[in-house]
A = this chain, B = another copy of it.
């Protein structure tokens, strides 16, 4: 098999469009010049549409996970108490990061495959009587394929005077996220998942309420100090040298998404999510997320049947059927699930490929399955969608 042509269905990085690849080859420019300012401002303007916000959106030269630290050290005073809502491994990691950064962390944990409940959060906030200063949670938990009820959680946080900090790394742009309307205080994402770019950029925005508290956030910081980004925003510059080639790539990617239409991008992801779930169900396999309402439209976690070894299945999918899925993440899930990424530079056709390889790989490793049902079910969902539009 042509090993270079492989369908990448990771949880990220996701495939790069040729247009983005080409944009990244543009010659270097002075990042203190008007040429860069124009680029910087155009990217910011498109990102504001993406975040549905009228606040400034900043682009930092770092991976998506730097969003955790950046959200905290800029807006949450050092050493205060914060609530980490954990529905999967990325939630765990943020909680751990907060502890390392010196915060007093209270954790609210849910079983894998479950979404958080706003009421649970309200209960904890109530009990803590204002001592919890921030609620930290994922919009979309990439390790389990579950999306949290962001709007409801943000509302409870606001009610109790806590900031709502949202990790949108595998959601922003692909899943509905109305930063201003929903009262989200900080939201951030990375370049390498829904945004069709290579990793290396972290993108973040904060509400007026968050900014009002920024001066009290005395946690030592330098590189991730957003005050400096804020100062440089109007002239279209960044305090540190920006990752220019990735900036050009992001510009090209955002242009493609804008051309498609910000809403249409979300509709496409919703269709891909529905197709994935319908396909998996049609095979008789089980989804990790049992609640359709909270099922992620960017990634689907599937329970590996007892008779099958996850690693063998993944290797067969890659070597024999040209598809790379994400393995389970974290001790509990590593052997128990595999995950199908369906975000970014993907269309429903990619979902068909991913589903066919699930069936064929399972069959090839000896699992009793009749190939064809998954794709058929997914085709049906797609067809219905087309007929409705």
Contact = CB atoms under 8 A, between A and B. Distances in A.
Contact of A97 (B190, B222, B322, B377): B222
A347 B2 contact: yes
A190 B15 contact: no
Interface stretch (A3-11, A105-113, A285-293): A3-11
A277 interface: no
A297 B347 CA distance: 26
A360 B376 contact: no
Contacts of A256: 2, 4
Give the copy number: 4
Interface in A99-142: 100-102
Given A8-B27, A379-B356, A198 B245 contact: yes
B379 A268 contact: no
B349 A357 contact: yes
Interface of A: 1-5, 7-8, 10, 12-19, 21-31, 61-66, 68-69, 78, 97, 100-102, 190, 192, 198-200, 219-225, 240-246, 249, 256, 259-260, 264-265, 268, 320-324, 345-349, 352-353, 356-357, 359-360, 363-364, 371-373, 375-377, 379-380, 382-383, 386-387
Given A22-B23, A373-B376, 13 more contacts: A4-B17, A16-B27, A28-B198, A78-B220, A101-B221, A198-B243, A219-B220, A223-B224, A245-B246, A322-B348, A352-B352, A360-B379, A375-B376
